[in-house]
Amino acid sequence: MHCRNKRRKLSLALTLMATAWLATGSVQAKEVTDADIVNDAKTPGDVVSAGIGTQGQRFSPLKQINASTVKDLVPVWSMSFGGEKQRGQESQPLVHDGKMFVTASYSRLFAIDTKTGKKLWKYEQRLPDGIMPCCDVVNRGAALYANLVIFGTLDAQLVALDQDTGKVVWKTKVDEYSAGYSISAAPMIVKGMVISGVSGGEFGVIGRLEARDAKTGKLIWIRPTVEGHMGYKFDKDGNKVENGVSGTTNASWPGDLWKTGGASTWNNATYDPETNLIFVGTGNPAPWNSHLRPGDNLYSSSTVAINPDTGKIVWHYQNTPHDGWDFDGVNEFVSFDYKDPKTGKVVKAGGKADRNGFFFVNDRTNGKLLNAFPFVKEITWAKGIDLKTGRPIYNDDNRPGDPSASADGKKGSVVFSAPSFLGGKNQMPMAYSPQTGLFYVPANEWGMDIWNEPVAYKKGAAYLGAGFTIKALHDDYIGALRAVDPVTGKIVWENKNYAPLWGGVLSTGGGLVFYGTPEGFLKAVDAKSGKDLWQFQVGTGIVAPPITWEQDGEQYVAVAAGWGGAVPLWGGDVAKRVNFLEQGGSVWVFKLHKG
């Protein structure tokens, strides 16, 4: 009798479970919370943020794959993004609840089963004719929150999709693509808000950072990154409320040039919960011809720290005041603990390998410069960075000449500058290891002939006022993965690469550093020595950052693959040098072979 009652209870329980499952149609995925995102770097079972943690260190404590075992790393599956829409694939995948979410060229997003590589669903933004992406049709990734996956598009929209079905939950237009606006960066989630920027500095857009309710898409605040523009908050009814001007009108911009000032926020931002600050890098001032805009041109080519609760700028540091070389300052600002060599005190700091060729260390609470040194071997535009003033020591004769001073007024004097405008480091994110205390920087050694030309702003037209030709500095290499000590300023080791490095970096608790090359190799090297330990050829160039996670007791590594980005479009002589590289579009996943 007792056993019969047990069977009845079990049968009833199973019936209730089945009824609940039928009522919902499926088992609901575990929602991503703010705590999941803040703790992403400490929870190796998933990857729920760009940067593998909002601080952007791209470090995983996982060590199943290490110097001894990495030789047994083999591919598990690969999934093609399909079609003719290949081009550059710069996306960092996200992993949650057995699904991988990865964006692809032409504003596509895929959900994939992490065990099998089976495509679960695909979303493809219907792009209009006339989009104007500066530097290939790339996308650098998505953000996860609740049951949503959110990403930006080339026609300047934000789209939030249901993680299980791929259905659109909300969609909003950020700005006019016909004016040059687009979105290429991965959004970021901070305190239930989706934080996103804009691309389009080459078209005279106004850079800004925006915060929206991640569940609804409703605006919360907007903070322009060009001095002179008003910031806004939005009330519960969506009405604009003025939130203060960014800086002081005309303080660092002459005349009306601030109205088309550029400083776009086209790369991924970071967030530090310890200081409650968002750090975003800003792009070049517009136009490139610096003689048209005397002054520092805030807040272009800078790191800007913004309070997420108010949307106000707390501090800024300008890496290249009065930029005349297109040295965007969009490179990621990575939070880390810096031991001051003079006082021995540990400072809450941030590191940034800037496009201008210098590595900067700033106090992340107030922006004070702590250290600055070259991470590339040839820099012509400045002799160094004055650590007292925080300003560059310019080589004035290396600024491209003023066209109005030339005989015909059409072309200023040509100078050869290094690094090239594609930078000592560009979009490809570096990694930091708290185990070694080193940053792992994908650097490039190249220069450019550059000159200025007259230009006037026209909505939706290129707004450069400059010409250029990029050239390699060495016959045997352009790229070099460098381990950089932020305290001593020394390059501890380097691995040279024939083609430019354009993909990001991952460091792990197993003492490894993973990165990809345009020649198609995903590589693992020893974090302390740089010794090559493993590589695999994926069949197309890698210009994206790898990730790693643990599932069912096994460590996985993944990377998106597909040659493209700015180099083949803007690379001049360098583009010709690497025109043998093949395009593609796929994501690859690896784990240890159990022999």
HSE on the CB side for 151, CA within 13 Å?
33
Q: Give which of 265, 266, 262, 264 is closest to 288, Cα–Cα.
A: 262
pLDDT digits (tens, 9 = 90+) for 526-539: 999 999 999 999 99
Region of poorest pLDDT, from 95-104, 126-135, 282-291, 418-427 = 126-135
Residue ranges in 281-398 assigned as alpha helix (H):
none
- Nearest partner of 374 among 493, 489, 479, judged by Cα: 489
Q: Is the pTM of this model over 0.85?
A: yes
What distance in Å separates the CA atoms of residue 595 and residue 589, rounded to the nearest whole number? 18
Q: Kindly report the average pLDDT of the chain as a whole number.
A: 94
- CA-to-CA distance for 146 and 194, rounded, in angstroms? 12
pLDDT in tens, 174-232: 999 999 999 999 999 999 999 999 999 999 999 999 999 999 999 999 999 999 999 99
pLDDT at 28: 59
Active site residues: 326
Per domain, the residue ranges of the chain are 34-592
Q: For residue 577, what pLDDT is reported?
A: 87
What's the pLDDT score for residue 25?
41
DSSP string of 234-263? E-TT--EEEEEESS-TTSSS-TTGGGG-B-
Q: Is the pLDDT of residue 497 over 80?
A: yes
* Residue 61: CA count within 13 A, CB half-sphere: 9
Tokens representing residue 341 in the block: 């060599």
- 34-592 folds as Methanol Dehydrogenase; Chain A (2.140.10)
Bridge partners of 186, per DSSP, are none
Express each pLDDT in 20-42 by its tens digit.
433 434 455 699 999 999 999 99
pLDDT at 359: 98
390-442 residue pLDDT tens: 999 999 999 999 999 988 888 999 999 999 999 999 999 999 999 999 999 99
Residue 409, pLDDT score: 86
Does position 509 have pLDDT exceeding 60, yes or no? yes
Flag whether pLDDT at 14 surpasses 70: no
